[in-house]
Amino acid sequence: MIDRIIEKYYHRVPDKRAQSLLLHTLFWVVWLTRSFYDTYSLWGVQWGMVYILIVFVSQAPLVYIHLYWYVPKLLNRKNYLLYILVTALSIYGYSLLNYTLLCALPSENMPERMLRFLATITPNYDLLEGVIVVILTYALKYTLIAFITQNELLKLQKEKLQLELNALKAQIHPHFLFNTLNNLYSLTLKNSDKASEIVLKLSDIMRYVLYQANEEKVSLKKELDFISNYTELQRIRYHDRYDISFKVIGEVENQQIAPLLFIDFVENAFKHGIDKRFSDGFVHIAFHVESTRLALHVSNSIGNNENSGIRQQDAGIGLNNVRKRLAILYPQQHHLDISSRDEVYTVDLEIDLS
């Protein structure tokens, strides 16, 4: 919450000098209002204002000399003994100056209570106040610096992650489009009577990849429609010779997800799971959605020439990219398990969409 307030403040007041002036003014108004509240009911508004003016005149040099000279020149350079000595002397100097200015006030028309107060004080009467204001202003300044620094670091990290995501997407788009165009070429040569259906589905795919997939989040339904269209293109390509299934279980409306998270798993399943040299190849794709939990299960047969399916898949640009994107977009919110057993390659991915 504090970082949001700071960010809004710096956005509305972009000039750094104005930012600093307003913050310092705010501090002194709040700090001196406390002293004014304690005195005006005893001495009246006029003498209460006189008192806080004297406090400001005597405290301001102490505060700014401490913050802009003693701290950077002595404390930050680990010259602790000299820092303690000069700070203690400055606090005593503040109390003495405050006492001197108060005693120099004309006693005419001064309230009786204020006269009695002045008669009881000594040059070191306000040492505690000096210690408090030194500690308080130091804490406020460096706490604010810490918040600003942390906020800047978070912004830089966010910008870095966004740049990395954009770079990964830039790799995904040409990679996917190249594969899809190759599929279209193969389909039109072998199945020209279905060319119109192929072009229509490919048009939907291209529209999604080139436009909607540039968003930070997309509708889960649109993402799954995209996977469905791609699966149908593959089914047409292979003339239904293989066991290809796609199903969605659960409610997908009103859910959002980062785009292009699943296509690499599906592409790899078709690339490595179906081989022309045997007739029992299969690709099974299933999405299960329950509340904010999404589970993807992809299983495919391992082709005759796939002796090391995991190693070959891990070498692909797409799969490496999707691993990185999941780590960035859903840290601690996803679980990915890839395995190969009994000539079946499986991918199980769970994502918390909340």
Q: What is the pLDDT of residues 343-353, one digit of tens each?
A: 888 999 999 99
pLDDT band, residue 10 (cuts 50/70/90): low
pLDDT band, residue 324 (cuts 50/70/90): confident
* DSSP H stretches of helix in the chain: 2-12, 16-43, 45-65, 80-103, 112-120, 127-190, 195-210, 220-237, 263-273, 309-314, 317-329
Residues with Cβ within 8 Å of 277's Cβ and at least 6 positions away in sequence, in order, are 303, 304
Q: What is the pLDDT of residues 41-99, one digit of tens each?
A: 888 889 989 999 999 999 999 999 999 999 999 998 889 999 999 999 999 999 999 99
pLDDT at 6: 59
Burial of 175 (0-12, 13-18, 19+ CB in 10 A): middle
Q: What are the two backbone dihedrals, phi and then psi, of residue 199, each rounded to the nearest 5 degrees? A: -65, -40
Looking at the chain, the whole-number percentage of residues with pLDDT higher than 70 is 78
Residues with Cβ within 8 Å of 4's Cβ and at least 6 positions away in sequence, in order, are none
Both ends of the chain: CA-CA distance in Å?
21
Domain 159-352 has CATH 3.40.190.290: no
Domain with CATH 3.30.565.10 in the chain: 159-352
Q: Does the pTM exceed 0.85?
A: no
Assess whether pLDDT exceeds 90 at residue 316.
no
pLDDT at 275: 62
